[in-house]
Structure 1
Amino acid sequence: MKLTIQLFAGIAERLGTSLLEYDYPGTDPTPVQLKEKLGLAYPEAAAQIRVSFLAVNQQYASADIIIKAQDELALIPPVSGGDGSHLNGDGHRSSHPEHRTDDGLFLITQSPLSVEATTELVITANHGAALTFVGTTREMTGQQRTVHLEYEAYVPMALSKMAAIGSEINERWPGVKCAISHRIGKVDVAEISVVIAVSSPHRSDCYDASRYAIERLKQNVPIWKKEIWEDGSEWKGHQLGPWNPTDN
């Protein structure tokens, strides 16, 4: 059974490819079975494969789903909600630097981010409060100096998950509006990597929704961050205990 699997971040780097053509020895595997075979076939990446989730047709797959040859597959290592290249939905390198949802509220781009432009998306006449969170590249972490960051995204799935955060917020705090812009590619020290803007009729909902948005972004949006230091580099994933992007 021939499968095409998109790879990202540390797994792609370890195997030297972003698109894996794999002959599964059988038919109709589950994600658990596929990951087990991949770990045996690629022992150099087995540890990373083990902690990754399989995405099927841009959704995190349940353990018992049956995989078909025509499915769009991707191995999703722990995300950071943080190589400057990315893939489009067809699994090919995309030359387009900007991707936005149809409603304009959620953006992934290689260009510098505008705090004002993202905030303007949520300002409305009936909302008396707006709050904007801005994430930037920090230079020093303890004694270690970061030279710059590199962000990579599974773009179509990342946009879908960002839009889902907006829907979740509106369900929890009716009327609250959310917009998220995220940078990919190289982000230098003190440059902006993410902007999250929320607005609501009253300020308390703004504070709660903003915190919810950044935590969900770090939990389940397939965006990865590589820290480049003076003497090395490392892909940073979820760092809050065992990673499960399906947790609510």
Structure 2
Amino acid sequence: MKLKLLVFAGLAEQLGGSAIDVDIAADKLTTAQLKSHLIEQFPQAAPALAQSYIAVNQTYAEEETPISERDEVAIIPPVSGGEPQPMPETGHELAEITMDPIAVEQVTAKVLHPNHGASIAFIGTTRELTHGQRTTLLEYEAYTPMALKTMQQIIGEIGDRYPGTLCAMTHRLGSVPVGEISVVIAVSSPHRDAAYDASRYAIERLKQIVPIWKKEIWEDGSEWKGHQLGPWNPTAANGGAQP
């Protein structure tokens, strides 16, 4: 079986590119078998591969999910973590990924509603100092179609958990200098309690399942940062996000 695998972030650097070809002597293949094959083929990347998940056709796959040559297969290293009831129609794309600077007011405008008395905008920016280390720049990369799909999934989850609540999220890719915005999550609701809770849920869930990675660039080096909130399992129910 011949497969072309999409690879991202630091794992792509270890495997030698953002797309790799593998040829496996098997007529049938599961994601678990593919992962074992990759660990054997790329022993230098074994620790990173062991923590990674496989996505098949832009969906996180279980270990026994079958793979065919027709599938779009991606190796998803831990995403960039930090420390369906339909949504009301707004006429805007509620999930967005951009290479351009983000305008907070434009994201917030997507969720403003005459029946909502509370709105919140969570703004994530590049900070200069982390544990005493000076950051000069963040570089963001995404598996864009799957990132948009999982962002839309989160927006739907919020509609289920907090009926009537609207959520929009925009994430920036590429270079984000110190002080500039990397992500904006806007939430509105008839009452403030649901708006606060939904905002917290959205950012925690985004950091759990959305395939976006960041590279911290310092004065004396750089490092891809993955999930930092304990064992990473994007297939778990609600990904461990707070209710």
Q: TM-score with structure 1 length normalisation?
A: 0.90
Q: Does 1:5 align with 2:5?
A: yes
**Separation (CA, whole Å) in 1 of partners of 2:183 and 2:27:** 41
Q: Which residue type is aligned with residue 193 of structure 2?
A: S
Q: Does 1:168 align with 2:167?
A: no
**Separation (CA, whole Å) in 2 of partners of 1:165 and 1:140:** 30
Q: Does 1:223 align with 2:230?
A: no
Q: Does the CA contact (< 8 Å) of 1:130 and 1:200 recur in 2? A: yes
Which residue does 2:187 correspond to in 1?
198
**Separation (CA, whole Å) in 2 of partners of 1:226 and 1:27:** 38
Q: Does 1:233 align with 2:222?
A: yes
**Separation (CA, whole Å) in 2 of partners of 1:220 and 1:56:** 15
Report deviation, 1:55.
Answer: 0.1
**Separation (CA, whole Å) in 2 of partners of 1:192 and 1:226:** 15
Which residue does 2:16 correspond to in 1?
16
For structure 1, which segment, 11-20 or 160-169, has the greater mean C-alpha deviation from structure 2 after superposition?
Answer: 11-20
**Separation (CA, whole Å) in 1 of partners of 2:99 and 2:138:** 13
Which residue does 1:144 correspond to in 2?
133
Q: Does 1:70 align with 2:70?
A: yes
- For 1:179, which of 126, 150, 168 is the aligned residue? 168
Listed as ranges, the gaps of 5+ residues in structure 1 are 83-101
Q: Which residue type is aligned with residue 217 of structure 1?
A: L
**Separation (CA, whole Å) in 2 of partners of 1:211 and 1:56:** 29
Q: Does the CA contact (< 8 Å) of 1:6 and 1:18 recur in 2? A: yes
Paired residues, number: 229
**Separation (CA, whole Å) in 1 of partners of 2:131 and 2:60:** 35
Runs of 4+ in structure 1 off by over 2 angstroms are none
Which residue does 1:110 correspond to in 2?
99
SS state at 1:126 partner: coil
SS state at 1:5 partner: strand
Which residue does 2:121 correspond to in 1?
132
Report deviation, 1:177.
Answer: 0.3
Question: RMSD across aligned C-alpha pairs, in angstroms?
Answer: 1.1
- Residue-by-residue CA offset, 1:55-85 (whole Å, 9 max, x unaligned): 0000000111111111000000000158xxx
Q: Does the CA contact (< 8 Å) of 1:81 and 1:221 recur in 2? A: no
Q: Which residue type is aligned with residue 38 of structure 1?
A: L
Q: Does 1:32 align with 2:32?
A: yes
- Residue-by-residue CA offset, 1:63-117 (whole Å, 9 max, x unaligned): 11111111000000000158xxxxxxxxxxxxxxxxxxx9511110110001000
Which residue does 2:196 correspond to in 1?
207
Q: Does the CA contact (< 8 Å) of 2:185 and 2:203 recur in 1? A: yes
**Separation (CA, whole Å) in 2 of partners of 1:6 and 1:27:** 21
